[in-house]
Amino acid sequence: MPATSSVTLNTGAVMPTVGLGTWKSQPGQVEHAVEFALKNGYKHIDTAAGYQNETEVGQGIKASGLPREQLFLTTKLDNPDQRNPAAALEASLKKLDTPYLDLWLMHWPAPMTRDGKADKGHDWLDTWKTMEDLYLAHPDKLKAIGVSNFSVEYLERLLAVARVVPAVNQIELHPSCPQDDVVEFCQKKGIVLTAYSPLGSDNSPLLKNETVTKIAQKYGVQPANVLISLQANKPMRTVLPKSVTNERILNNAKIVDLTTEEINELHAIDKTHHFRACHPSWTGFGGIGFPDCK
């Protein structure tokens, strides 16, 4: 299918396909990146309490002058806040200086302590129940809720009791981490997938991969555009290229329609070059149900 420019969530809300990612975007750089992106056509910004840049992201949004209702803004509940989502939501709204979030995600199904250890005395499913309560009680503050870094196994556990089906599951997706099982499952359940680290994160080998560079040459675009376009060419998929560099922020918004053969060729990269930029084991909960992390 041709690339999309937006997708519709299970709430009926419209989410622009390409958003600016801000994982690893430092305070001091991210304000400008957000402002520049919004002044140059982006309408979707993704951040997280855990990135420790929400205040600066909020400053960038204000500086851009973009009316709030024209922006799709996502942030995430940090792992150490799983025991108190209500306070964490208020803190995020304050830092971002916004009355509401378009999307609030549980960052990981992995409650943690403030000193970075697994908090095994708390169940992430209870966190989800509280997020649902907040969403149902405060439609003025939360337009949608969802999850991030959820495997099929964890989604099945959640959906067995959920009152609200997550609008989105944000996971790592690129040719070396296609996660077909999660993709198929989410599509069946009407859950939009958002691709983080679509380029493979910092110093990615994918930018030099010969399949990627060959397709880039054909379309006269950069390798990054092929990797971002791959995600935008999938149904029910949004994508978050991260950059703090003006020229790249501008460039990354350029999407091309790929052929089915090209998509299949890019897909085949995983067979010989699999990697994750972000392995879930850092949370202290092992592979959290992802088959390639066992």
CA torsion 211→225→235→47, rounded to 10°?
130
Q: Give the count of beta carbons closer than 10 Å to the beta carbon of residue 262.
A: 21
42 counts as catalytic:
no
User: Binding to ligand A2P (CB under 6 A): which residues in 14-73?
Assistant: 21
Residue with tokens 């009355």: 99
Backbone angles phi and psi of 75, in degrees to 5: -135, 175
- Closer residue to ligand A2P in complex, CB, 146/198: 198
* Least distance (Å) between residue 74 CB and ligand A2P: 15
Q: Which region among 2-10, 85-93, 94-102, 198-206 touches ligand A2P (by CB under 6 A)?
A: 198-206
Handedness of CA 138, 141, 144, 147 (dihedral sign): negative
* Least distance (Å) between residue 250 CB and ligand A2P: 9
Distance between CA atoms of residues 203 and 283, nearest Å: 23
Burial of residue 29, with CB atoms counted within 10 A of its CB: 0-12 exposed, 13-18 middle, 19 or more buried: middle
- Single out the residue of 149, 201, 231, 233 in contact with ligand A2P (rule: CB under 6 A): 201
Given the residues 42, 51, 135, 154, the one annotated as active site: 51
- Single out the residue of 140, 202, 210, 261 in contact with ligand A2P (rule: CB under 6 A): 202
- Closer residue to ligand A2P in complex, CB, 88/199: 199
CA angle (237, 239, 242) in 5-degree steps: 170
- Closer residue to ligand A2P in complex, CB, 19/146: 19
Is 107 annotated as contributing to ligand binding? yes
User: Which tokens belong to 172?
Assistant: 């790592």
Distance between CA atoms of residues 287 and 290, nearest Å: 6
Q: 45 and 21 in contact (C-beta within 8 Å)?
A: no
The edge-to-edge listing of strands for the beta sheet with 145-148 is 44-46, 72-77, 103-106, 145-148, 168-172, 192-196, 237-240
- Closer residue to ligand A2P in complex, CB, 50/80: 50
Binding mask 246-285 for ligand A2P (x = CB under 6 A): --x--xx---------------------------------
Count of residues binding ligand A2P (CB under 6 A)? 18
User: Binding to ligand A2P (CB under 6 A): which residues in 208-247?
Assistant: 222, 224, 241-245
* Least distance (Å) between residue 3 CB and ligand A2P: 17
* Least distance (Å) between residue 200 CB and ligand A2P: 5
* Residues assigned a catalytic role: 51
Binding residues for substrate: 107
Binding residues: 107
| Binding region for ligand A2P (CB under 6 A) | 21, 197-202, 207, 222, 224, 241-245, 248, 251-252
